[in-house]
Structure formats: C-alpha cells, structure tokens
Amino acid sequence: MKLRMWSVGSDAAGFTLLELLVVLTIATLALTVALPRFAALLPGAELKSYSQQTAALLRLARSQAIATGDTVTLTLDTEQQQTLLSGQAPGHPWPTGVKLTLSGTGQQLPADAPGELTFYPDGTSSGGTLQVASERRRYRIQVDWLTGRVYFDD
C-alpha cells in the first residue's frame, strides 16, 4: 500500500488569493447591477411585503394596548403618506404609488380626516378593513372588532 502525500509546489493545481479576490469583486459588481433590475421584474413583491409589514404593525398595536393597558391608535395620514402608531415618533412611509383606504370602522369621520384603527386594553378594537392597493394589485387586511385579531388576505 502506497501513501501519496499532497505537496505544494509549482505544479500544484489551484487558485491564488489574487484570482479569488478578482472573481469575488466581479461577482459583487454583477449582483449590484442585477439585483435592482430583478426587483423590477417582481412589481407585486414590494406591495405584498409592505402589506405584510402593515399587518404586523397592526398586531403590534394590539399587543401594546394589551400589555400597557392603554388605548393604541394606528393613524393613516394621507397628507404625509405615512402610517403613525401612537406612542411612536417616526411614521412608517408608504411606498410610491401605494394607496391605503380604511372602511368599516364604525367611526363617523369627516372626509378629509385621517383614518384610524383603535385597539383597546381588553384586546378589542374599532375594527375595519384596510386596503393596500397599487395600480396592479390589492391586498386586504381585516381587523375583527370583537377580538382585535388581524387577518391578512392575499
């Protein structure tokens, strides 16, 4: 039985560190150029992602109301194009071309007033349906008034 040992020498096959760095640099540049174009191929992905984030924000509002014992309100500021959560200073801006509409809250608000979803300390809410829409796609987020549960419809 012969034992072969691998030795490093001038005839050894492989890549130098410089070659590997050059390849990694080229791959990084290619991804930097290709990723924004890939995102453009999936126009509905940004809207769905934003809709899921909004549903998560509603769930957070409900959890905060229950945990703190305070009423928490999520406000849709159509003038500033952002969603505001009471108790949090920065708003959550809407993506370009996205429209949010709130219906079925049972609250009588003037037409120019921002929409509001309110969560109470006992877990209930004002309820309603929030539609997140763009030109091509629309998602619906429902908030049950009795339980305060948030449902995301694809």
Considering the entire predicted model, what is its pTM?
A: 0.69
Domain extent listing, the chain: 44-153
In 3D, which of 86, 118, 121 has the Cα closest to residue 102? 118
Question: Which two structure tokens, joined as six digits, stand for 84?
Answer: 């505001």
Question: What's the CATH class of domain 44-153?
Answer: alpha beta
* pLDDT tens digits for range 27-63: 888 888 877 666 666 667 788 889 999 999 999 999 9
